[in-house]
A = this chain, B = another copy of it.
Amino acid sequence: MPTQHGARGRARREEIVRAAIEVIAERGYRGASLAAVAEKVGLTQQGLLHYFPSKEDLLIGVLRFREQTDSGGRDTVAEPMTMADTEAVVEANANRIAIVRTFSALLGESVTEDHPAAEYFRDRYRLVRERLAATLRLEWGDRLPSGLTPEEAAPLVIAIMDGLQYQWLHEPETFDMPAAFRSFLRLLDPKAAS
């Protein structure tokens, strides 16, 4: 078992994961070769395999890395306690195009058969929907201003965030993702200042 002790090894692993995120953003998971990731951190492919014994292990590393550190990643929606926070997340994502691209590409791939990230996204969706519904209920009670229940609104918030990212990624300089998201928030609560 590599990388167990030693801050040295842990740092190297993180370096590798960051490189993997970049490569996946450029080529997707299937298109990302271990060799390309290895080269980015100055390793051979086999050197990389010392830290992550298989490509799938590396992907798991990427997914885990996001869950831990990534306090600005797309779905940190899992955490925020107010709707204003979700807006901040979108804003932050607009400045993290590489990470957004990585996870948008992964999300797309994950709908194909036996994709190693499929389970991750399914569980993630469930979790985020739950927490988001709780957040909405905390903010507005059992009925939003629009008349929707929190359970009805939560999937819509997620869908908007995901969907806007694709439009934005295809026209990063033209498409104003945060503004579009704010429009949606106005839809949820017409009285909101924002």
Binding site for B on A (CB under 8 A): 25-28, 30-31, 101, 104-113, 118, 121-122, 125-126, 146-148, 152-153, 155-156, 158-164, 166-167, 169-171, 175, 180, 183-184, 186-188, 190
Contact: A160 with B163, CB < 8 Å? yes
Q: How far is the CA of A125 from the CA of B186 in the complex (A)?
A: 23
Contact: A111 with B104, CB < 8 Å? yes
Q: Given A27-B112, A148-B187 in contact, is the A180-B159 Cβ separation under 8 Å?
A: yes
Q: How far is the CA of A28 from the CA of B108 in the complex (A)?
A: 9
Question: Which residues of the partner chain B approach A184 to less than 8 Å between Cβ atoms?
Answer: 156
Contact: B113 with A104, CB < 8 Å? no
Number of copies: 2
Q: How far is the CA of A106 from the CA of B188 in the complex (A)?
A: 30
Q: Which residue of B lies closest to A26 (CB)?
A: B113
Contact: B148 with A186, CB < 8 Å? yes
A contacts with B: majority SS: helix
CB distance from A178 to the nearest CB of B (A): 12
Instruction: Select which of B28, B106, B111, B147 is within 8 A of A186 by beta carbon.
Output: B147
CB distance from A41 to the nearest CB of B (A): 20
Contact: B190 with A113, CB < 8 Å? no
25 A-B Cβ contacts within 8 A?
A26-B112, A28-B30, A28-B108, A28-B112, A101-B112, A104-B108, A105-B112, A107-B108, A108-B108, A108-B111, A110-B170, A121-B166, A121-B170, A122-B170, A122-B171, A155-B167, A155-B175, A156-B160, A156-B164, A158-B167, A159-B162, A159-B163, A159-B164, A187-B187, A187-B188
Instruction: Select which of B109, B160, B161, B188 is within 8 A of A109 by beta carbon.
Output: B109
Q: How far is the CA of A187 from the CA of B145 in the complex (A)?
A: 10
Contact: A109 with B111, CB < 8 Å? no
Q: Which residue of B lies closest to A129 (CB)?
A: B167
